[in-house]
């Protein structure tokens, strides 16, 4: 059937097909050009002040090497503080934005004159040049250092004064590294290794190996406490070029990485290639309009969101696994990745990675599956190939579900699902307190229990969201049993919500509330308070609002906690840290989407300046906070982990176009977009009126066109109805047997007004067409809900004949108890789902023509898949 020629274009989106853009932009906006060189707008210095903890040096998307300067105060991860004016060295790897120090391995510092292992040198920001993929600075000693990278190697160009004592100091014991090795291999090559790690004082470590070659001969070597030095004579040629390979497997691996990725001596060409590599991935999101500052912050945020996780495998595919053995990537996987700040990235970054880099996200997903095979659990916060046990929760399954939901699906999903089930049902080092949650339905806060997990209330809320992600993943794979099992347990958050106080509270094992509760206290919470965590039910905000007493109560809570978003007094949101970042979007769920639009714009303006010296956001946490900004600037947000549901805000730009991995595009057009115009007045989705504060799940994976009319005044009528709220999931994933009671009979109404399920001509002939027809109350439209989950008309069953494929037509057949005659009903989406195929009962093309035969199709929340059962 040719779905491209249908007049009702909205059905194309919900049926999972790309749709030609339908532009309603103004003439002025239409002539504006999209950013063509996004890498040139990246300013890696943003985030290097206050607590951002990013780094400014040279790197590639998800690269192993990040060659970057370190400064004396060595902020965690990034090792560079914008307020410092001294460089201690240029090290080979870094973390972007964590709260604890790690990496910064094998720093190299150029000096002149005598060897001093404690040497540092001054610099000025006026002498720095930073961009995506390269870094340069002239130090006070007159040496200019220029850096660039490939994925697994780095290249440097050191321009010294003319001297016989041009030195490179290898400060191998930086960041408490031990077991230092350094060897002069030849007159132009050195190699070595260090043992490092100790992230947040955690015990797991790794070995970093390097091999460096030079285009000038080494004229001298030396050693000092904690390192070694080499010397060059630059009286004839002041430029010394270096190429270094990094590996976590061996020195041979480091050498091979360098040779495979940078065989020549073309520094400018290597730098250009790095710039082009960044343009390739940053260009997946093209923006038009906005201010210059907004464009810079946007692309710098997208850049920061795509630095991690990092390549672990060498160019030959070998890597050290969680079992400390050498493994080799195989099958469809191209590379192994490591370093997952799971507590952070499952909220925003994993989804964005899958959206713009589905191959890397698929490999990241397979990497997690490999980690489980080697360790018996998914990592929670891993550094390279070791678990640090930092933070709380069980985010691995949520990250996998996020990847899958946003289109990164080239991994072993069957094994992933089996591992996710094991992770959530058996004792392991990550799912701490599982036995207690199973026993009590919550995590007790008394006795010895808090020793078993970190923050009893916060951890239960994390587990609830992550259980739902497992449920969503299982449901997407057609496993409705697991879907229901985990969706039910995902409602355990209700056991720590006190309806009397309106807050999430710690509970004792005997079921009573812990005395002395203070909602501004962080006791039993993690990096937050009950004020900030009470809204942390991203999968069931409707249920939370109901528990509070309705939309008005929920909106009042949001009004109070978001009246300030700098975390003041513990009674307000902290939009610079993860536990609060979902809160502004929750107005969409309670009929006040204009407040989402307002608050999100305020956060963008106040916390995200184009100012390296005055960064206002907290730890970037390996791209999590940056990903929040990217999503919000596009005007959408992935509120519910494990799904591609997108809550709506409003975009900063007149156009945002995302090129998906399948070749389809997402287009968000907002001709009136301006900093003072965040309010949606009206919307169309693929040409049809759209009055919902969310986008259908298929928008993120199959593309579509959203046109928005924005204004400076709030429209308090747009998308405020109950049916306009984004989906919430209240147990069983919303699924239950199809009907109010087995044995009941009556019409089944379509979401397309006036249409009902109908047996063509009321015939009982096997194979007779089951169709959509104008509701008329005839016998052909009297559907009986049977106890076995079948739907019956005139004593026969709705049947899917011998196929689970999209487009299989529905007929009437003798009831036989087969899986092809069973249906479940999703109370949230109003879909009738066949568990055998995992697909929904569908009116093809959303046709309004009487006699259109029903089929099964991928579930997509379309009105042509919505059914109202008789009562």
- pLDDT(423) > 50: yes
Whole-angstrom Cα Rg for the chain: 29
Which tens digit of pLDDT belongs to each residue from 471-485?
999 999 999 889 989
pLDDT, residue 450, reads 58
Q: Which pair of structure tokens corresponds to residue 871?
A: 């009562």
267-273 mean pLDDT: 98
pLDDT, residue 859, reads 87
How does residue 731 score in pLDDT terms, banded at 50, 70 and 90?
confident
How does residue 31 score in pLDDT terms, banded at 50, 70 and 90?
low
**Domains within the chain, CATH numbers bracketed:** 44-282 (2.70.98.10), 737-868 (2.80.10.50)
484-499 mean pLDDT: 94
Q: Which residues, at least 6 apart from 825, have a Cβ–Cβ distance to it below 8 Å?
A: 735, 736, 737, 738, 739, 831, 832, 833, 867, 869
- Reference 803, options 826, 819, 792; nearest CA is 819
CA angle, 411 then 413 then 416, to 5°: 105
Please report where in the chains the tokens 């147990």 appear, as a residue: 731
- Reference 484, options 835, 114, 869, 187; nearest CA is 835
854-860 mean pLDDT: 90
- Reference 274, options 54, 65, 53, 46; nearest CA is 65
Q: Residue 50 — left, alpha, or beta (φ > 0 → left; ψ -120 to 50 → alpha)?
A: left
Can you give the three-state secondary structure of 782-828, one letter per residue? CEEECCCCCEEECCEEEECCCCCCCCCECEEECCCCCHHHCCEEECC
pLDDT, residue 637, reads 98
- pLDDT(739) > 70: no
Q: Which residues, at least 6 apart from 418, have a Cβ–Cβ distance to it below 8 Å?
A: none
* Alpha carbons 358 and 638: distance in angstroms, whole number: 16
Burial group, residue 761, by CB count within 10 angstroms (0-12, 13-18, 19+): exposed
Comparison of pLDDT for 678 and 446, the residue scoring more: 678
Cα atoms in the 13 Å half-sphere on the side-chain side of 8: 15
How does residue 14 score in pLDDT terms, banded at 50, 70 and 90?
very low
- pLDDT(596) > 90: yes
Q: Which helix (H) or strand (E) holds 148?
A: strand 144-149
- 158-161, long-range: CB within 8 Å, 24+ apart, which pairs? 158/110, 158/239, 158/240, 158/241, 158/242, 159/238, 159/239, 160/110, 160/112, 160/232, 160/234, 160/238, 160/239, 160/240, 161/112, 161/234, 161/238
- pLDDT(12) > 50: no
Is beta strand 646-648 parallel, antiparallel or unpaired with respect to 694-695? antiparallel
- Reference 542, options 694, 394, 698, 691; nearest CA is 694
- pLDDT(19) > 70: no
Q: SS3 for 62?
A: coil
pLDDT, residue 556, reads 98
223-246 mean pLDDT: 98
Which tens digit of pLDDT belongs to each residue from 648-702?
999 999 999 999 999 999 999 999 999 999 999 999 999 999 999 999 999 999 9
- Reference 703, options 663, 653, 655, 654; nearest CA is 663
Q: Report the percentage of the chain scoring pLDDT > 70.
A: 94
Q: Which pair of structure tokens corresponds to residue 653?
A: 């730009």
* Alpha carbons 103 and 118: distance in angstroms, whole number: 19
* Alpha carbons 374 and 505: distance in angstroms, whole number: 37
Q: What is the pTM of this model?
A: 0.84
- pLDDT(50) > 70: yes
Q: Which pair of structure tokens corresponds to residue 626?
A: 């940056």
Q: What are 648's strand-pairing partners?
A: 636
Which tens digit of pLDDT belongs to each residue from 147-189?
999 999 999 999 999 999 999 999 999 988 999 999 999 999 9
Q: Report the percentage of the chain scoring pLDDT > 90.
A: 85
pLDDT, residue 735, reads 45
Neighbours of 510 (CB within 10 A): 8
363 in Cβ contact with 338 (< 8 Å): no
Q: Which pair of structure tokens corresponds to residue 844?
A: 């093809």
717-742 mean pLDDT: 73
- pLDDT(141) > 60: yes
pLDDT, residue 5, reads 25
- pLDDT(789) > 70: yes
- 494-502, long-range: CB within 8 Å, 24+ apart, which pairs? 494/543, 494/547, 495/440, 495/441, 495/442, 495/460, 496/442, 496/457, 496/460, 496/461, 497/534, 497/544, 497/547, 499/547, 499/548, 499/549, 502/534, 502/548, 502/549, 502/553, 502/557
Neighbours of 519 (CB within 10 A): 19
- pLDDT(359) > 60: yes
811-835 mean pLDDT: 85
pLDDT, residue 449, reads 62
pLDDT, residue 202, reads 81
Report phi then psi at 704, rounded to 5.
Answer: 155, 180
- pLDDT(301) > 90: yes
Which tens digit of pLDDT belongs to each residue from 312-333?
999 999 999 999 999 999 999 9
* Alpha carbons 322 and 428: distance in angstroms, whole number: 15
- pLDDT(222) > 60: yes
What does each C-alpha distance from 480 to 472, 484, 817 come to in angstroms? 9, 6, 18
How does residue 16 score in pLDDT terms, banded at 50, 70 and 90?
very low
- pLDDT(1) > 60: no
- Per the prediction, the chain carries an average pLDDT of 92
Q: Is the peptide bond before 211 cis (omega within 30 degrees of 0)?
A: no
């Amino acid at each position: 059937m040719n779905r491209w020629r249908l007049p009702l274009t909205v059905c194309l989106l919900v049926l999972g097909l790309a749709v030609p853009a339908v532009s309603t932009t103004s003439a002025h906006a239409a002539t504006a050009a999209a950013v063509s060189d996004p890498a040139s707008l990246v300013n890696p210095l943003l985030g290097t002040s206050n607590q951002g903890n990013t780094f400014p040096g040279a790197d590639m998307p998800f690269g192993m090497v990040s060659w970057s300067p370190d400064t004396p105060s060595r902020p965690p991860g990034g090792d560079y503080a914008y307020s410092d004016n001294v460089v201690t060295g240029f090290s080979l790897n870094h973390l972007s934005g964590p709260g604890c120090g790690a990496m910064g391995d094998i720093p190299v510092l150029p000096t002149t004159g005598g060897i001093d292992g404690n040497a540092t040198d001054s610099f000025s920001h006026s002498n720095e040049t930073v961009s995506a993929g390269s870094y340069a600075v002239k130090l006070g000693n007159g040496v200019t250092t220029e850096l660039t990278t490939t994925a697994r190697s780095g290249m440097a160009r050191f321009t010294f004064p003319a001297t016989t004592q041009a030195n490179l100091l290898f400060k191998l014991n930086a960041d408490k590294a031990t077991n230092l090795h350094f060897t002069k291999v030849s007159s132009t090559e050195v190699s070595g290794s260090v043992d490092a790690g100790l992230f947040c004082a955690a015990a797991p470590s790794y070995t970093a190996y390097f091999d460096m070659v030079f285009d000038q001969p080494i004229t001298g070597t030396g050693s000092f406490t904690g390192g070694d030095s080499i010397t060059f004579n630059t009286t004839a040629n002041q430029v010394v070029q270096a190429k270094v390979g990094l590996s976590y497997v061996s020195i041979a691996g480091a050498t091979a990485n360098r040779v495979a990725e940078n065989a020549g001596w073309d520094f400018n060409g290597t730098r250009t290639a790095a710039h082009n590599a960044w343009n390739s991935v940053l260009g997946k999101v093209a923006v038009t309009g906005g201010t210059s500052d907004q464009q810079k912050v946007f692309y710098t945020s997208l850049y920061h969101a795509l630095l991690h996780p990092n390549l672990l495998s060498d160019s030959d595919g070998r890597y050290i696994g969680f079992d400390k053995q050498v493994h080799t990537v195989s099958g469809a996987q191209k590379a192994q990745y490591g370093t997952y700040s799971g507590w952070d990235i499952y909220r925003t970054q994993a989804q964005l990675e899958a959206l713009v880099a589905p191959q890397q996200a698929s490999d990241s997903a397979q990497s997690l599956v490999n980690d489980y095979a080697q360790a018996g659990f998914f990592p929670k916060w891993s550094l390279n190939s070791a678990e640090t046990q930092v933070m709380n929760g069980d985010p691995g399954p949520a990250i996998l579900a996020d990847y899958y939901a946003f289109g990164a699906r080239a991994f072993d999903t069957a094994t992933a699902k089996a591992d996710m089930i094991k992770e959530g049902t058996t004792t392991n080092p990550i799912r701490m307190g599982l036995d207690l949650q199973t026993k009590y339905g919550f995590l007790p806060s008394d006795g010895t229990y808090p020793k078993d997990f970190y923050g009893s209330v916060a951890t239960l809320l994390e587990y609830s969201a992550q259980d739902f992600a497992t449920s969503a993943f299982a449901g997407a794979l057609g496993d409705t049993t697991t879907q229901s099992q985990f969706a039910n347990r995902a409602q355990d958050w209700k056991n720590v919500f006190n309806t009397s106080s309106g807050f999430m509270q710690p509970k004792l094992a005997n079921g009573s509330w812990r005395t002395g509760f203070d909602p501004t206290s962080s006791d039993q919470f993690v990096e937050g308070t009950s004020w900030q965590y009470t809204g942390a039910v991203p999968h069931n905000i409707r249920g939370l609002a109901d528990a509070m007493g309705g939309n008005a109560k929920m909106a009042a809570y949001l009004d109070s906690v978001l009246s300030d978003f700098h975390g003041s007094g513990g009674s307000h949101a902290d939009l610079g840290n993860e536990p609060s970042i979902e809160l502004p979007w929750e107005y969409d769920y309670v009929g006040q989407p204009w407040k989402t639009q307002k608050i999100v714009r305020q956060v963008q303006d106040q916390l995200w300046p184009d100012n390296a010296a005055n960064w206002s956001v907290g730890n970037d946490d390996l791209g999590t906070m940056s990903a929040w900004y990217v999503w919000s600037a596009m005007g959408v947000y992935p509120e519910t982990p494990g799904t591609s549901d997108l809550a709506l805000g409003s975009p900063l730009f007149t156009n945002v176009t995302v090129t998906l991995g399948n070749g389809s595009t997402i287009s968000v057009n907002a001709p009136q977009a301006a900093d003072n115009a965040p309010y949606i007045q009206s919307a169309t989705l693929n040409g049809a009126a759209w009055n919902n504060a969310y986008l259908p799940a298929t928008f993120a994976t199959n593309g579509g066109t959203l046109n928005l009319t924005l204004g400076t005044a709030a429209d308090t009528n747009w998308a405020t109805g109950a049916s306009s709220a984004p989906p919430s999931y209240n147990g069983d994933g919303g699924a239950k047997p199809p009907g109010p009671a087995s044995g009941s009979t009556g019409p089944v109404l379509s979401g397309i007004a006036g249409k009902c399920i109908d047996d063509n001509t009321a015939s009982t002939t096997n194979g007779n067409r089951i169709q959509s027809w104008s509701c008329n109350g005839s016998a052909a439209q009297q559907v009986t809900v049977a106890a076995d989950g079948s739907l019956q008309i005139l004593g026969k069953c709705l049947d899917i004949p011998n196929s689970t494929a999209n487009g299989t037509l529905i007929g009437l057949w003798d009831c036989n108890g087969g899986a092809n005659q069973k249906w479940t009903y999703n109370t949230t989406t109003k879909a009738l789902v066949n568990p055998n195929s995992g697909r929904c009962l569908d009116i093809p093309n959303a046709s309004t023509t009487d006699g259109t035969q029903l089929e099964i199709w991928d579930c997509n929340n379309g009105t042509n898949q919505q059914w109202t059962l008789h009562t």
